[in-house]
Amino acid sequence: MTTIQDNAMGRAFQNELIPPARLLLLAPSEPRAPIAILSPAKRNALVACFNAGGLQKKDGAWHGLPGGKPVSGMTTADLARDGMLTVTTNHRFGSARLTERGNWFARTLLCQGTTANSESDGQVSPRYRCLERPL
């Protein structure tokens, strides 16, 4: 069994797993993640992982919700190196979960509706709430 959890930045903070039941996206005082640094593929992977509560490796690709767009293995590995996913593999099987950092980026993406994924069409799902900061 292999677990990829190493990264150069704050291992303990970034590798905490977050339960998928957290429906509040961003609190009013919470800063937004710097999502401009993410490629469209990474954005889609984070949102797919958030919506599905994780990714599962199946048929050589990583999948979130059934019928969803598959996530490339390279994208999954890049996100693990960036400290946004914790990946566990056992031979051909694998699972990936958001870390605290990955959860923050995914919640920012969902709140701002800035994924390139056709499933989201740039819209925030009605099951999520974004609390705006007071002016």
Q: Are 57 and 47 in contact (CB under 8 A)?
A: no
CATH for the stretch 2-6+37-112: 1.10.10.10
How confident is the model at residue 130, as a pLDDT?
63
Percentage with pLDDT > 90 across the chain:
51
How confident is the model at residue 128, as a pLDDT?
54
Measured CA to CA in angstroms, residue 68 lies from 26, 28, 49 at distances of: 25, 31, 11
Regarding pTM above 0.85, the answer is: no
The list of the chain residues with pLDDT below 70 reads 1-24, 114-135
* Domains in the chain: boundaries: 2-6+37-112
Question: Dihedral sign, CA of 7, 8, 11, 17?
Answer: negative
